[in-house]
Every structure is written in structure tokens, then in C-alpha cells.
A and B are shown apart, each in its own frame.
Chain A
């Protein structure tokens, strides 16, 4: 029997060992990610964090309560103009003091939304690579890092620093395909469970003080499993349709499709011009979200999501071609 030289044996062992390590690493990362998802929605927590994007540093406060009445969440800015988002069982309300407006949205039933298998972001055809990283101390808590790196330019990557015991998110970094950081979020103080101040969940904003901007087009919509009226012929690799909703009443066109790769999600809104909300054509940026809007054949196409500009633009273009060829 031919025996491999020692160097070759060592190489084989190293390859086998590293494969096992990476496989274990990936599954551990996936487990931590699932733990984070559960913790973020089911635990009660409160804290102050800094959010850094470009040269702008903003301080915000979050209170997330989970009890027998459901989930209540209040997120508001501590620095700069007063802006806040309140989420409860009724829906979402966004108070934007600098624009003198309140944007409301009804609670969406997502019972039709398919559960994406966790492996979708970790398979061979996935657009991401998962791994666990080192440990750190953040806001007085011991944290563990999970990194999700994009394999191409159509999606962003994330660094999640999770509290060791609960899996709650303590630090978050968004980066592009070249691993250039785009935004960071880090807690400076953090409390869980009974340590949180329940009074903070109540908004200090008086809704009467603001002009209400009703989002007419988004009301009275139903989530459906029927096929959308238009579909883009091509999508960025890994993205697939995960949700479709349309207007309940037969007044004008309203279609909302969500495409996801398992982690990133992109919404495509198709509305009749004039009936819906006016969005300026072209590209826009809303924090780390990119948006692209088209107006074609009497309808407005708006694509939005926390993905690179090229992703929303290419989907919008494909949707425009689909409408034109219909």
C-alpha cells in the first residue's frame, strides 16, 4: 500500500479539519442568528445607542416591551430634531417633527408571508457567507460577534455583536461587498427585563400638534398568494418573491411585492400615477436604504430596501420593462 508523504498527510488533515471548523462555525453562526431574531422580538429591553452613518452621529433610545398585550416598541431620537417610531398591535406610527408630519400604517397581517428556511442564507447558492467572530464587552455586557459577508455587489453584509446569554443585539455594523463600513450602531447603556423603565414606552409627542399625512395607498390592502400582475423577468442572484399584496378595492392599481434573498428584502410598489404617493423619479437614499422610482405608462414604480443602489435600480428597470411589454 502506498503511503502518502508526511507533508501530504498533514495537508489532508488540515483541509479536513478546517472544513469541519468552517462547517461548525457556519452552523453556530446560524444558531446565534436565530437566537437573535427570537430575542429581539420576544424579550423586553431598553437602552441608549449611537448610530453613525457617514459623518453623522446620532443618539437614540429604544424601549421594547413584550407582555400579555403583545409587543410595544418606542424608538426616538435623543439628539437633533424630534423623530420617533412607535410600534404596537395597532400598527406603526412615525412622528417626524422636522417635517411636521405623522406617517401611519395599519398593522399588517403577515400570515401569508412564507417562513424562509434559515439555510437560505447559508446554502451553497446563497449570496452570503456566515461566520462567528471574537468576543467583546459592549455597554457593560459580554458580546459575541456573528458576521454575514456578501458574496456579490447586490447585497450588504452585517456584523452582529450579540449579548452572550440572551442573544440581544448590542452592536451592528453594515458594510458593502468590499467590507467598507456604511453604518454602525452601538449601545452605550443597556437594560433587560425588570430593570427597564416602563414609563418610557409612552410617547411625549402630542399627535394633535402634527399634520397627519395619510398613506392612502397603503390602506385597505390584502396580502395574497396570487401572482402579481407584473413580474421582473430578471432578479439579482438569490432574490425571490416572498410576498405580494394588492388593494382590496377596485380603485386604481396598487401592487406591492417583496423580494428577498433570505436576509435582505426589497419592496416593489406599483401604483397608478396620481392615485398614490408622489415619489421623485430617480435614486434616493433613506439612511442605509436605497430607493429608485420610475414613472411609466401611467404607473409609478418604486423599489426600496436596505440593499445597494444597483439592486433597487436593476429591479426597477426590469419591472419597467415588464410593464412596457405587457
Chain B
């Protein structure tokens, strides 16, 4: 074994070899018994210096390496010429799948509405993958809108209620309680009942008659 190889072995022990050189020496260790024995000897010397009289763990490394290599099942390699096109194609398929997943997961959720001529029953749509972390299809909150007439109506009713509470002495029985609804709650329109609709229709017809 050359002096250079011994220096490399020593450097490997001290962790001073580069990764490539380390791999090279390790490969040689598995095939060169002499080198393996030297490796063991170096470790033994180092352990004796560090822990005199201690238990030395590195023993029979060469034999263990040899046994392990013999017991290892050789990997089955595909025969040359058997579907040589499959390897690049499978690589492409994996890359495409990853790209597709990325698009499905991260793209905005826009569902196409079938056109008039399309028959959705003839070609049932495949359920798209939807990540549980994506945003819902429709925003939860409705678009904010300012209704000036609604606001004016609300203010008008507040004003009417202020005057009502002042005028109605009976409301004074409960003191401030009469004013609590003004502070507490904005105006809520009441859903129109059939009776409301009838009254409104009657009012409209009367108004039309008056205008004529």
C-alpha cells in the first residue's frame, strides 16, 4: 500500500478528506483487505491513546464488510433493450403529474359553465381535485353596497322614533329604555307578507287613479 494511500486513510479518519476522496477510499476499503487491516490498526492505536485499557470496539471490520457484501442481494437490473423508451417517458409522466397537481391546487377555482350546446349528461365531468385549503368557489361575504335610500329611510325612522319617544309620555315610564333600540340596532326591513303586498297594491292603484 502506497504512502499516499496511508495518508488518505489517516485523513479519512480525521475527517479531513473531501467527499469524493472519502467515497473513493471507502470503496477501496471494501475491496482491499490490507487497507482494511491498516484502517483497523489505526483505529486501535487511536483508541489506545485516547482510552488506555478501555474496551476497543473496532474489531474484525474487514471480515464484517466482506460478509455484508456477500449477503447483500444483488439488485435486479432491467435487461438492455427491454422498453428503453419507458424511462424518459415515465420521467416526463411524473413531471407532468407534479405540474398538473400544482396547477389544480394553486390555480383560482373557476368552474366552466357548460354551454348551451353541450350535453353535460353525455360526458359526465370528472370531479376536479379540490384542495381543502383552497378558497371557496364563491366568496363568503357579499359585496358591500351602499344604499342611500335605505340609509335615508333608516335616519328618517330614527328621527321619527326620537320624536315619538319625546311625545309619548307613556314611553317615559321606562326612561332610557325607549332609546335603547336607536343605539342598539340598525334598521331591519321586515319581509313583506301577502297582506303587505295587498295593501301596497291597493295603495298603488289608488295613486294611479289620483294621478289620472
Contact = CB atoms under 8 A, between A and B. Distances in A.
A241 B154 CA distance: 26
Contact of B155 (A85, A258, A277, A316): A277
A26 interface: no
B113 interface: no
Interface residues of A, number: 87
Contacts of B176: 40, 62, 64, 73, 75, 85
B167 A75 contact: no
B183 A258 contact: no
A31 interface: no
A203 to B, nearest CB: 13
Interface residues of B, number: 53
Interface string A88-131: 00011010101101010101101001011000000000000000
A170 B117 CA distance: 68
A306 interface: yes
Nearest to A37: B173
**Main secondary structure on chain B at its contact with chain A?**
helix
Interface stretch (B64-72, B97-105, B195-203): B195-203
Interface string B170-211: 111111111111111111111111011001100100110010
Contacts of B180: 51, 60, 75, 185, 287
Contacts of B150: 280
Given A218-B159, A294-B203, A313-B199, A265 B190 contact: no
A278 B159 contact: no
Contacts of B73: none
Given A40-B173, A169-B175, A278-B149, A105 B182 contact: no
A9 interface: no
A143 B57 CA distance: 86
A36 B176 CA distance: 12
Contacts of B153: 278-280, 284
Nearest to B152: A278
A311 interface: no
A86 to B, nearest CB: 10
A40 B195 CA distance: 39
A262 B155 CA distance: 28
B152 A40 contact: no
Contacts of B80: none
Contacts of A286: 154, 157-158, 161, 181-182, 185, 187-188
Contacts of A76: 183
Contacts of A41: 172, 175
18 contacts: A36-B174, A75-B179, A99-B154, A103-B159, A105-B159, A169-B177, A172-B177, A242-B169, A260-B168, A286-B181, A287-B181, A288-B181, A289-B181, A291-B157, A291-B160, A294-B203, A296-B206, A304-B164
Those 6 A-B pairs whose CB atoms lie nearest each other, nearest first? A287-B181, A40-B175, A277-B156, A265-B168, A283-B190, A267-B164
